[in-house]
Structure 1
């Protein structure tokens, strides 16, 4: 059963011609046809999908594809190529280890903040700016302490999770106009009820376009695994 080969081949040709939209569509189709047990094949498809996503400006989804490919194939040329583009946090490499640490800290704190919001997103630009300013101030204190230099990736993540950021009340006109209540950093998540049950072939709710069984339902990024 090599139904995946046709879309994969067309995706490679489209990628060579810099037709990233076509390549992404074909690689995702190849993933749907790829058997779950064909780890090496799936890793190659995910690796090429990551290249297409990165060229189309979707760096976050590209890094996720490369992380998943590296988890399927732990050694060999494909794993080495994936490691060139993703860091220990499972994020796109920036070429600067301190910047990688900052982005991981920022991502973790934003995720923690938004997970406690009823809507799961910022209500306004003003709210977002305040949250990022608080995160930046906390990062300055951490970076000045120089404590990160002797820590491993997992130890850094544990330290980032221990950081208690105090997000102040936000009274902004545009927030109030959007019928959003002023928010504070220490609050409980609203009960939104049970989430719908997903089957393995349903599109992943993260927006990657991959089937759920081949994305969040099966493989997780480094930061999520540390959670």
Structure 2
């Protein structure tokens, strides 16, 4: 499993600066919840009537599942800070030492589907041939029992700053831990609407009729000028109180 992680993201003069860090191991457990996320929803799809599987790469060619999404308009600025991505679990599964790696990129469906597939689970192979911009990668641990209709929340190690009114995608790659674990991670999906990201040995795909149940959460980022004005206002208030 590839462990590189794009971290340490900073907003500098209104632009996104990325520096590359390295995660030694999957130290962060996937958060497990019984209720769907509420509040600070940037993008979501709540309906579900079927299931889909992200397989371990050694077990099956269909070794990733994800979803395209679009950010809306930010009334207070031009960007959002993504803090977590949640997917809905189908059927109960127990894992011992399993891992799930979350990837996020910016780009259109056409940008993603220009890719050549993946056989090594390295970022260079995953994105080969695409014209998307990789933004984030982090590996999470799967340990314990994860029940049907529960929610798997991936809380990002660092908030991801993204543009408003733009196209993105996220996807999950599952890596089996114990020999007795299932060869796949089974998730809820809907059999309409499309938008589901798939990655095989030979293609980067977006399914036209199926989509994941998912929630992207975060907050609006004020424009730098707005943030500066708020800071000056706070300073003026402090000075007034000292008089």
Q: Shorter-chain TM-score: which interval?
A: under 0.3
- So what's the TM-score if we normalise by structure 1? 0.23
Q: State the structure with bigger RCO (CA 8 A, min sep 6), 1 or 2.
A: 2
| Greater fraction of residues in helix | 1
| Greater fraction of residues in strand | 2
- So what's the TM-score if we normalise by structure 2? 0.22
